[in-house]
Structure 1
């Protein structure tokens, strides 16, 4: 299991931290889009890496509070005027206060934190001065550890009634699961009962008291990140782990959930590689919300209110962590997070190391605090460190209201991210994670035709003094990426082409109204403008597949495989044939057949973050005896595997698992007369979602709880 120990000194983060519907048949053909030309005068040269961006495959809309940073009451430079300017330049739209684990000892009314250090000039009104000056939305942490629901409600009254600050987002506590209930106690919690049940009861009380003052505030509950300690652990006397216990109680009382992510992967390439776990982990958060909130899940946001590599080798202020900051934060946003906050603005000097030829100050801040370790001192206060430039590159990539798009790279060392801007421009971020190899990228944009003008180029590469204007160093179809660099290209569309020419807006977010084993019915809010028809597309990497079209705002999709997961967008087509920008995506999983001749129950009975125990029960509901059986399933995540097992024999090939009966449970009587059970110890590197389809002797079974 992974956990973070208590650091020394107040500067360290840990811890005190309705129209008619049309039936749609599944189509086999891919969406025919316009040729991926950039301009006739600029043919795409060959490169060692191909990057493809698909404007029809939307990943969601960038929100005003998308990019954020943590602030802390022990930071004497928190409200420096230079900080406001730096926030604005980087596109920081959210500021979290009063500072990680300090939040659970902080009392806003007198700006005190018993047992901790509070720097002068860091009170709530001073913080709000910085937030308002920088144009950022505050994300405030109500004191759960040593506070009360009344104290939190009084804070809401002062902030939004007395002062009119309009503070929207309020978390209840910081990392409350770190209060000792699972054996590691960095988070202050004075409640006699430290269980997730008690936290859930208090969240309901806090939410009721705070919304009684201002019904518009959004209340957030703390969850553990799936696949990270203490996910899956059930403490003595508890009936379930933290996430399941809390959400079962408060799913209809909160407006968002807050998770933190510190991969502790060793820094450099390892931390960058760990970002690949994020989509699966965030998908599991959404799955939990779907399970416990039902239809309300669509109204509950996910915020990643702390992220940093927290790498053990000290790569914190140097270039590798800048690359990590960009990759982790944009990946989180692409996978359903509405806000992601870097830990933190200033933090303090740590162990001094050399990384890639540059001094790393072991500081988890994105700006220098000017502190010294021995005779080695950080640069002048508020000098940006590498993570600041990674975040600033994301600010250059997008603005609030832009649509994130699916993109992909043929190289494991090059990642790509893209947005369709509100004005029709297309921006692409290219990140070369290799510390030694330059890559030449060939770019294509099916469905988008670039104007003949050269793209705007911004770059952060070794030798650059921050994010610089690099006009002329790339074309619309080709870019050479220096090692350990980020390049942002912005292309204008050719007049009269693409989504910029559409006279209809994007449809609203689609929702499922019924989900069966092979059919799913969707509906969505209508697009603005005169719509000729709506089209539903499934994302298949960087290509899309047309599932069908409808003249109304609902559709039924047929012939879908049982237990299969799909991500779809709805686009509107105007009367001239132009497609709108895509809706916010919808991901759904089909069910399993209710009339199957077998059932399977799969239950995780224990977990410890990177491992788990599962029990499986198989029933034969058919009319005939089964003498000998096999059960096949596939892991949803590449990081899942079977370690050891009992009452059966298990073989695995990649993500596919085949189970054959054991010595004493090979006979399954008909009509559910007998069942076979077996279990195993599994491993998970990242999220641990349950398999969705089980086949008994080739028959798809009904999955039961």
Structure 2
């Protein structure tokens, strides 16, 4: 940690102590090497030498030492998801389950972790738990998430004496030996419901496992699962690797070809943005899932997922406390085979049609908002490598004055505004707003407000891709 944050100034905020440490043999399963165990593979005495109490004691020492070097960091400890192995398991030398022991030991040592580091893979392959994965079972598994999060919070209250943020630092469909489901449309739909359900339950972070992984041909690839692949891969992008299935060579697409889960992740990223507020959404159709957020610009985004492999649904949408604007809303659709997302004005704010095994993200503007196209933004940056200034010209292209305005955009990178002119500039996460000052509050038709700011960044400095004025999308030039 000193090497990263002090010597090199990397400013890494979040750290975890260990990975799946409960897989060190304490409960009979061994895949996670642990030098405290004294032997590899683990000796029979391992539960008393490196069980959850030993882990917690060492984690407390790490947390104390790390924060002595950089007190701004956040350090989490490894816990298990209620209902997932090894939840509820005990062992010689570890008479209480993992979570209870870890949290109670840390509390007794006067150390409170900054977050709980949890992994969740709801299915096991047929080699572990016959009969193995099913598509309907996977898509229904996200219904467990509210109970998992409430179970964790109950454990925090009982054993830690403090509520902890939950970070899902690994999740995918199957715990090991991935099969065809992982590279098909079903996994993309599961990913969307996975992210929306965790965030809706109040977790702080969700990480998908993973970007690249590699081909596996020994997983579940039967005809009862949707799709035609003869292999699996945890990655959202192919790596071009090959294997053998049924005596024949099987290869992935060329490296970096997206699997459907990539597009599911992209759609999830468009739905869940910093500054959005999760709002209640329900569905009367068991196989039609609905989720919603309200954005900072006043619009509502509705995510619809059709878990039915054979039936299209025409969905009637209703809103409480929100009046949608007229016209066809911008809708992004992910349909089989999951090779891309199409975005266009489609349907209405109150009626959308979903094909089998598809998802749609509907962005609904509030009634009375400024029509799209009534503004234009020209953005020009002067970049010197670690910082830059930007001039932003905002033009009213409509036929009526704009009295009082807020310009908003999102950074695609890690840029941070440090000051600005001709507007009141604020930034929360990657969301930026510029609000008029008293002397430029009215923007006449055809008039241009000249704004600007200075900012810092590391790595790349891509420009914003979209701007809104009082919630309406502007053209750019």
Shift of 1:211: 0.4
Question: Could you tell me how far apart the structure 2 residues matched to 1:417 and 1:385 are?
Answer: 24
Shift of 1:235: 1.0
Question: Could you tell me how far apart the structure 2 residues matched to 1:323 and 1:367 are?
Answer: 16
Matches within 5 A, 1:94-133: none
Question: Could you tell me how far apart the structure 2 residues matched to 1:218 and 1:404 are?
Answer: 25
Residue 262 (structure 2) pairs with residue 262 (structure 1) = no
Question: Could you tell me how far apart the structure 2 residues matched to 1:253 and 1:367 are?
Answer: 37
What is residue 383 of structure 2 aligned with on the other side? Answer: none
- Aligned residues of 1:200 and 1:250 also touching (Cα < 8 A): yes
Runs of 4+ in 1 over 6 A off after TM superposition: none
Residue 30 (structure 2) pairs with residue 164 (structure 1) = no
Question: Could you tell me how far apart the structure 1 residues matched to 2:369 and 2:325 are?
Answer: 10
Shift of 1:367: 0.6
Q: Which residue of the other structure, out of 142, 145, 170, is the alignment partner of 1:306?
A: 170
Deviations 1:500-542 (A, max 9, x none): xxxxxxxxxxxxxxxxxxxxxxxxxxxxxxxxxxxxxxxxxxx
TM-score by length of 1: 0.47
What is residue 206 of structure 1 aligned with on the other side? Answer: 62
Matches within 5 A, 1:276-675: 276-294=143-161, 296-297=162-163, 300-310=164-174, 314-351=180-217, 353=221, 355-359=225-229, 361-374=231-244, 375-462=249-336, 465-472=339-346, 474-495=347-368
Q: For 1:444, what is the secondary structure of its paired residue?
A: coil
Shift of 1:495: 2.7
- Aligned residues of 2:185 and 2:338 also touching (Cα < 8 A): no
What is residue 527 of structure 1 aligned with on the other side? Answer: none
Question: Could you tell me how far apart the structure 1 residues matched to 2:277 and 2:81 are?
Answer: 26
Residue 30 (structure 2) pairs with residue 185 (structure 1) = yes
Q: For 2:229, what is the secondary structure of its paired residue?
A: strand
- Aligned residues of 1:418 and 1:426 also touching (Cα < 8 A): yes
Matched positions, count: 339
- Aligned residues of 2:135 and 2:226 also touching (Cα < 8 A): no
Shift of 1:267: 3.8
Shift of 1:357: 4.2
Matches within 5 A, 1:684-695: none
Question: Could you tell me how far apart the structure 1 residues matched to 2:356 and 2:233 are?
Answer: 23
Q: For 1:316, what is the secondary structure of its paired residue?
A: helix
Question: Could you tell me how far apart the structure 1 residues matched to 2:230 and 2:258 are?
Answer: 13
Residue 101 (structure 2) pairs with residue 245 (structure 1) = yes
Return closer, same or farther for 1:246/1:359 CA change in 2, 3 Å cut-off: same
Shift of 1:398: 2.5
Quote the RMSD (CA, aligned, Å). Answer: 2.0
Shift of 1:496: 7.7
Structure 2: segments with no counterpart, 5+ residues? 38-48, 125-132, 371-477
Higher relative contact order (CA 8 A, sep 6+): 1
Structure 1: segments with no counterpart, 5+ residues? 1-155, 498-705
Q: For 1:244, what is the secondary structure of its paired residue?
A: helix
Question: Could you tell me how far apart the structure 1 residues matched to 2:314 and 2:280 are?
Answer: 20
- Aligned residues of 1:318 and 1:360 also touching (Cα < 8 A): no
Question: Could you tell me how far apart the structure 1 residues matched to 2:54 and 2:369 are?
Answer: 59
- Aligned residues of 1:317 and 1:360 also touching (Cα < 8 A): no
Question: Could you tell me how far apart the structure 2 residues matched to 1:229 and 1:421 are?
Answer: 37
Q: For 1:387, what is the secondary structure of its paired residue?
A: helix
